[in-house]
Structure 1
């Protein structure tokens, strides 16, 4: 069977993201999303999630902040996790910096704080995943991520392909308990964006979807002044890219193609129930 989760990363990053994410799951082909709890608009997105509990909403565990001018830091507070932040109390911009400086016990403090914050706000998360897959940057981070999933009774997004993407080539993952290993993760590249071929790539993914469990990772947002300010000098996953993702998810052509190809759309609830 060709099973596919179409998943929206980065809800809570901005108001433009929250608006686009809700539209993507209400009107589009998106089946899952996750919320960045350290970001300014996380509270609003949890409010939206609580008002629409039938949609699949996870926690996008965050340990890095890649933007130049839009800076944020740990939910636990910089003083509680000093190895995770720069001199201004913000998360490091890259996974490499995180892997070099972070103390594993402080990674656990911060990830646990993000989960508990979401729960305190009333979110009933369907899963855990990771911004920039930073939990895969070191083996001890990945072990913490998996342990928290078991402790809170939540599926975690596990992918050998994503680990290769973050240059973690440790031994092959063996799922434990209720963990689900995603067979294939699909996302567009900057080269495809430069060629204006993101939608063509997504359509190719759908037409050539391999058997097993697939996830298509997208980042829908409105190309607003807010998003352009957040992503300034960052065309990779920038505001224009994110609006293309938004439009793709809402297009009639995407709906039709998925139906025509007989692809089974999934979310984390259906995986857990299966």
Structure 2
């Protein structure tokens, strides 16, 4: 069966509360890149991952190449959920026709990927994304999955595992996220999973903002490997246009993520609870 990482091999104690604050979606836009970089340099964000097919990939790849001290993964991408901001595969869409709509862009919804995507085309495209990242000088610490599409089915999970083995990189697996994409009980013997994953939610964002929710999450963290998934960006004109008619994980949400995780009071809360940072770079040592 799947198991939690053996963190004692890294010198941690069973009672240690370990936290990764991970920024998804770098490369999505200029705003996303700028906020991610500032959050890494001035906040408590200690991990991020890059979307290779997006127009602003090269900007973030340049940063990653010249700042290898930061934990950096490849955010394997099979969907484009935005209404008017579109991107598609790294490969010519004629080579991976099951991954695109009739205009050659990635499908907007996970359900379309689950129904239409052929696993062999998924692997071919994701290999191309990894190869492009490596060629850009990125030295990835892990692989993860945009919108957790690689958790949608056992066939997609098999591709995810294969990529991790082939490139000798840990993959982000979570039984919580697998339940959220309606694929429970799909983990296998040998899979390593994080202890707990925390994300903001739209109801809280709309009503009181995300500060209170994140504060409670930090106060209630339990021992083990915890991940808070955030999506920092600035609520500027560019990001508003990217997020047209998409308030869930929209520009306002992303600004709240940036604000909370660069606030000195948040860093103080971690110190008060003796919460220790952990990164995929450390996890590499015990996962391969």
Shorter chain as denominator, the TM-score bin is over 0.9
Q: Say which of 250, 253, 263 aligns to 2:275.
A: 263
Matched, 1:210 2:225: no
Kindly report structure 1 stretches of 4+ aligned residues shifted beyond 6 Å. Answer: none
How far is 1:171 from its partner? 3.4
How far is 1:230 from its partner? 0.2
Number of residue-to-residue matches in the alignment: 271
How far is 1:82 from its partner? 0.1
Three-state SS of the structure 2 residue aligned to 1:158 is: coil
Contact 1:160 1:173 in 2 (8 A): no
How far is 1:169 from its partner? 2.0
Matched, 1:166 2:178: no
Partner of 2:167: 152
Contact 1:34 1:59 in 2 (8 A): yes
How far is 1:197 from its partner? 3.3
For residues 48 and 172 of structure 1, the distance between their equivalents in structure 2, rounded to whole angstroms, comes to 34
How far is 1:201 from its partner? 0.9
How far is 1:173 from its partner? 3.8
How far is 1:51 from its partner? 1.3
Q: Say which of 74, 78, 82 aligns to 1:59.
A: 74
Partner of 2:208: 196
Partner of 1:84: 99
Partner of 2:33: 18
Matched, 1:36 2:36: no
Which 5+ residue runs of structure 1 have no aligned equivalent?
none
Partner of 1:46: 61
How far is 1:218 from its partner? 0.3
Matched, 1:27 2:42: yes
Contact 1:139 1:170 in 2 (8 A): no
Contact 1:58 1:127 in 2 (8 A): yes
Three-state SS of the structure 2 residue aligned to 1:129 is: strand
- What TM-score do you get using the length of structure 1 for normalisation? 0.97
Three-state SS of the structure 1 residue aligned to 2:205 is: helix
For residues 216 and 137 of structure 2, the distance between their equivalents in structure 1, rounded to whole angstroms, comes to 38
How far is 1:195 from its partner? 1.1
Which 5+ residue runs of structure 2 have no aligned equivalent?
1-15
Deviations 1:18-47 (A, max 9, x none): 100011111100010000000000011010
How far is 1:181 from its partner? 1.1
Partner of 1:137: 152
Contact 1:175 1:181 in 2 (8 A): no
Partner of 2:8: none
Q: Say which of 109, 112, 115 aligns to 2:124.
A: 109
Contact 2:204 2:210 in 1 (8 A): yes
How far is 1:249 from its partner? 1.2
- What TM-score do you get using the length of structure 2 for normalisation? 0.92
Partner of 1:5: 20
Deviations 1:71-108 (A, max 9, x none): 10001121110000000000011110110011110000
Three-state SS of the structure 1 residue aligned to 2:140 is: coil
Q: Say which of 237, 248, 267 aligns to 2:260.
A: 248
For residues 120 and 261 of structure 2, the distance between their equivalents in structure 1, rounded to whole angstroms, comes to 39
